[in-house]
Amino acid sequence: QMQLVQSGAEVKKAGSSVKVSCRLSGGTFTNSAISWVRQAPGQGLEWMGGVVPMLGIVNYGRKFQGRVTIAADEVATTVHMEVTSLTSEDTAVYYCARDMVLRRGSGVLTMKPGDYWGQGTLVTVSS
Amino acid sequence: DIHITQSPSSLSASVGDRLTISCRASQAIGNSLAWYQQKPGEVPKLLIYAATTLQSGDPSRFSGSGSGTDFTLTISSLQPEDVATYFCLKYDSAPQTFGQGTKVEFK
């Protein structure tokens, strides 16, 4: 059974950085991409970025470019996400999600997004 | 970037009611739209992908329709366990974008 297992809750000071990890067990990166999604308290879902390890492609949402880094460790089937220059607005539950690659052709990936999710990691930023 | 507008933001209904939730994309996205259900305190769960394909194991009272810019999630007969917030997601290309969410409650 496939699972995404995330690292534990973090409490950080404003201005610092946080790194959250997501380990894929029971599956491989061969047919998987990993997205990061966050949810502030009482708010909706926000896509931050994602990585396609088999292609070495990383994409970021516009508001996160330059402040978020996503990297895959294929040997450990783990994806890490680092957020720098934290503010109180970064207080949220951070999720990783598996996007299944259904087909690949002509530079286009056909996906089934978010079929498995990690348990979430609460990041609290205090001033 | 393509913007997604989801409506309504909330709705109240009774057991057995038929519900529809809409998402509109600012540009055509083919059929690259998914729907998720998130119950309070839980992780989002995939219901529908490729606009119309029901995820394995999900009840058949959930269905999706649409293509291009206009999409709909339909719950044919609302059940007590369907109380949740529903989100759409466009995923044709990066960046992926979620709709604002629709909170479904009982009258």
Q: Are B41 and B48 in contact (CB under 8 A)?
A: no
**pLDDT tens across B33-52, in order?**
999 999 999 999 999 999 99
Which chain B residues are closer than 8 Å to A50 by Cβ? Answer: 94, 96
What is the distance in angstroms between the Cα of B79 and the nearest Cα belonging to chain A? 23
The two three-digit tokens of residue B43, written as one number: 């992780």
Q: Where are the alpha helices (DSSP H) in chain B?
A: none
Which chain A residues are closer than 8 Å to B91 by Cβ? Answer: 99, 111, 113
Q: Which residues contact A90 (CB under 8 A, 6 or more apart)?
A: A18, A83, A123, A125
Region A75-88: mean pLDDT is 96
**pLDDT tens across B52-90, in order?**
999 999 999 999 999 999 999 999 999 999 999 999 999
Model confidence at B98, pLDDT cuts 50, 70, 90, reads very high
SS3 assignment, position A87 = coil
**pLDDT tens across A29-62, in order?**
889 999 999 999 999 999 999 999 999 999 999 9
**Residues above pLDDT 90, as percent of chain A:** 84
Contact B46 A115 (CB under 8 A): yes
Contact B89 A44 (CB under 8 A): no
With 0-12 / 13-18 / 19 or more C-beta atoms within 10 angstroms meaning exposed / middle / buried, residue A11 is exposed
Evaluate if residue A107 carries a pLDDT over 80. no
- Please tell me which of the candidates A35, A113, A120 has its beta carbon nearest to residue B43: A120
Contact B96 A47 (CB under 8 A): yes
- Cα A48 to Cα A32, A58, A68, B1, B71: the distances in Å are 17, 11, 8, 14, 23
The CA angle A100-B92-A94, to the nearest 5 degrees, is 60
Mark out chain A residues that contact chain B at CB-CB < 8 A.
35, 37, 44-47, 49-50, 59-62, 95, 97, 99, 111-115, 117-120
